[in-house]
Amino acid sequence: MTAEAAAAAGAETAVAAAISVRELSVRFDADTGSITALERVGFEVPEGGFVTMLGPSGCGKSTLLRAIADLVPISGGAIHVFGRTPEQARRARDFAFVFQDATLLPWRSAIDNVRLPLEVGQRSGAIELNAEPEALLALVGLEGRENALPHELSGGMRQRVSIARALVYRPRVLLMDEPFGALDEITRDKLNEELLRIWRETGTTIMFVTHSVPEAAFLGQKCLVLSAQPGRVREFVDIGFAEPRTLGMRDTLEFVEVTAYLRRLLEEPR
Amino acid sequence: MTTASVDDKGTGTNTGQDGRTMRNARAERPRARRYRHAPPIIAAAGMLLLWHLIVVGFGVPSYIAPSPVQVIGVFAEQGEILWINFWPTLFEAVAGFVLGNSVAVVLAVWFVHNQFAERAFYPIAVFINTIPIIAIAPILVLILGNGYAPKIVIAALICFFPTLVNMVRGLKAVSPQMLELMRVLSASDREILWKIRLQSSLPFLFAALKIASTTCVIGAIVGEWIGSNYGLGSLIIEATYNFRAPLLYATVILGAGLAVAFFVTTTLVERRIVKWKPEAVF
Ligand SMILES: Nc1ncnc2c1ncn2[C@@H]1O[C@H](COP(=O)(O)OP(=O)(O)OP(=O)(O)O)[C@@H](O)[C@H]1O
Ligand SMILES: [Mg+2]
């Protein structure tokens, strides 16, 4: 299939999907030989959906997210974000990326870090302001700490600043790579709830990588389970708990069954 | 301050270390503050006393080694000749500092954006740095004449290399993840330079500027050694040939004082500008 044909076919099906990935392969060519990180991966995320991603270490979760964000070149297949290529989507500021560590500028206060996306990349057109930076910091529970420098904030607070920064220009897709991986459980629970609330309030499409099975089951409407070497889709699991989800839900039998199922998928060799 | 200055010169290129020592020192202030300066002052006073006792006790003639009292006397009696020669040296050192560091910063920015330029010119910069400044000085005097120009250029040359090396390192010391974030935001190279690279290079730049703040004075003085009739450097030569040892010592002390003043100024400017912790990457 030629690139044009793939793009045309993608544009047809992508109308309903926020993210559509088809037959995606990513290979890395290193001196030591080439590694196939992802092979024939395909799935769709509907607009406003929340998809979590689980898989053994090194199976290509980060690579998949980075391919969608146009940070890694793809070797085969196609990715469409609202019917556009990743590069077009990036230039249109369709998505925001949240990394495992907050990646804040140490010399900028919390509020100025949140403003950063509004100050750069202007040549791609006017940037729509989602909400005032002050309001976003309040949304992530940091009112009163606007002028703190990153080293004066805790790890969890820094991560919340980076989430506020990701939301400041109304991204249509939020790509999160183990954003809460380095946090303690209590902070993580709190941020999980906050993230769900933000998701409900803003209608942003979210893809969320995690190593925690309960987190994946709690947050996701669907969970994409990958298998390793090379990275393939193991199963795209429907989770479908009733909204709004609460932390208490995690003690129900229904929830335990879902996590047990996800664990089995992760452990069982194919 | 004196102890910090030794420390800073020693570990000049190692920014993180410097920043930490200074900050810890400041954190401990409340208790240690009052007596912080006592040890170096006592040590210096003791050495002056020893110097005086040796000179007086062994009857060393003053044209070989003057006593501290005689040196202080020079400042009181021959102050005018010292100050007349002080201002040109100050001017040359400052001009050389500004020139050398500006060129180094601009070159570093160019190198970071143009790999070819870095590969082509970096080795040349290294080569120029290996030529002893004392050897270059006569050449520059031949080319640039006898005015301020050769002295300024020598002071600039001596500042240039440490700043170039540190600035290149500083501009590149941006985490790959920060660069990925900027790519997701479709930031241009220019925005990355102004918003990220220049800021994150500041601790590296100041480590180099602190070295340059003392070496630029050396550069100016060395420049004045060769066929000059003004400046602290020419005064040093003149005093030596005429066996005016007290004047020689006073001149040397004035030159050292100039370097210390530059260093302290640079440190104070750094403290005002770099308020964040350079060693932590968020
Ligand atoms: N830039 C790169 N160059 C070469 N190989 C790479 C590169 N990035 C990733 N890989 C390889 O691709 C594979 C997938 O890596 P990736 O980081 O996507 O895994 P992951 O699922 O995110 O793992 P983890 O859960 O540990 O974060 C690994 O084998 C890795 O070594
Ligand atoms: Mg990863």
Query: Tens of pLDDT along A21-41?
Result: 888 888 888 777 788 888 888
Query: What is the predicted pLDDT for the residue at B1?
Result: 36
- In DSSP notation, B159-186 reads HHHHHHHHHHHHHH-S-HHHHHHHHHTT
Longest CA–CA separation in chain B, Å: 77
Query: What is the predicted pLDDT for the residue at B201?
Result: 92
**Alpha-carbon torsion (A82, A86, A92, A94), positive or negative:** positive
User: Of A180, A190, A178, A130, which is closest to residue A158 (Cα–Cα)?
Assistant: A180
Q: CA-to-CA distance for A106 and B281, rounded, in angstroms?
A: 7
Which of the 8 DSSP states describes residue B275? -
Closest chain A C-alpha to B141 CA, distance in angstroms: 44
Which residues of chain B neighbour A124 with C-beta distances below 8 Å? 186
Which ligand does the CA of A57 lie closest to? 1
Q: Which tokens in the block code for residue B121?
A: 């010119």
Q: CA-to-CA distance for B233 and A141, rounded, in angstroms?
A: 63
Beta-carbon contacts below 8 Å between A and B: 79
Ranges under pLDDT 70 in chain B: 1-33, 277-282
Integer distance in angstroms from the first to the last C-alpha of chain A? 30
pLDDT digits (tens, 9 = 90+) for B122-146: 888 888 888 888 888 888 888 988 8
Which residues of chain B neighbour A96 with C-beta distances below 8 Å? 184
Q: Is A125 in the pocket of ligand 1 (CB under 6 A)?
A: no
B253-261 LR contacts (CB < 8 Å, sep 24+): B253/B71, B254/B82, B254/B86, B255/B89, B255/B217, B255/B221, B258/B86, B258/B89, B258/B90, B258/B93, B258/B217, B258/B232, B259/B213, B259/B214, B259/B217, B259/B218, B260/B5, B260/B214
Say if the Cβ atoms of B184 and A158 lie within 8 Å. Answer: no
How many angstroms does the Cα of residue B87 sit away from the middle of ligand 2? Answer: 61
Query: What is the predicted pLDDT for the residue at A123?
Result: 57
Q: Which helix (H) or strand (E) holds B209?
A: helix B198-225
Query: What is the predicted pLDDT for the residue at B15?
Result: 42
* A2: phi then psi, degrees, rounded to nearest 5: -75, 165
Return the residue in A107, A119, A168, A172 with the most chain B beta carbons within 10 A, the one to mutate for interface testing: A107
How many angstroms does the Cα of residue A64 sit away from the middle of ligand 2? Answer: 9
Contact residues, chain B to chain A, C-beta under 8 Å: 175, 177-178, 180-188, 191-192, 195-196, 199-200, 202, 274-278, 280-282
pTM of the model: 0.77
Ligand 1, atom 17, lies closest to the CA of A62
| Plot region of A29 (φ>0 → left; ψ -120 to 50 → alpha; else → beta) | beta
Query: What is the predicted pLDDT for the residue at A231?
Result: 83
Whether residue A88 contacts residue A7, with contact meaning beta carbons closer than 8 Å, is answered with no
Q: Which tokens in the block code for residue B30?
A: 């409340």
Whether residue A80 contacts residue A11, with contact meaning beta carbons closer than 8 Å, is answered with yes
Ligand 1 atom nearest residue A30's Cα: 4
Whether complex ipTM tops 0.90: no
Query: What is the predicted pLDDT for the residue at B103?
Result: 95
Which of the 8 DSSP states describes residue B145? -
Say if the Cβ atoms of B282 and A150 lie within 8 Å. Answer: yes
pLDDT values of chain A reduced to their tens digit, one per residue, 270 residues: 445 554 555 444 444 688 888 888 888 887 777 888 888 888 889 888 899 999 888 888 899 999 999 999 988 888 988 888 888 888 888 889 999 888 999 999 999 999 998 888 765 555 666 678 888 888 778 888 888 898 888 888 898 899 889 888 888 899 999 988 877 888 788 888 888 888 888 888 999 999 999 999 899 888 998 888 878 888 888 887 877 788 888 888 888 888 888 888 888 766
Helices (H) and strands (E) in chain B, counts: 14, 0
Whether residue A209 contacts residue A181, with contact meaning beta carbons closer than 8 Å, is answered with no
Query: What is the predicted pLDDT for the residue at B227?
Result: 76
Which residues of chain B neighbour A106 with C-beta distances below 8 Å? 276-278, 280-282
Which of the 8 DSSP states describes residue B196? I
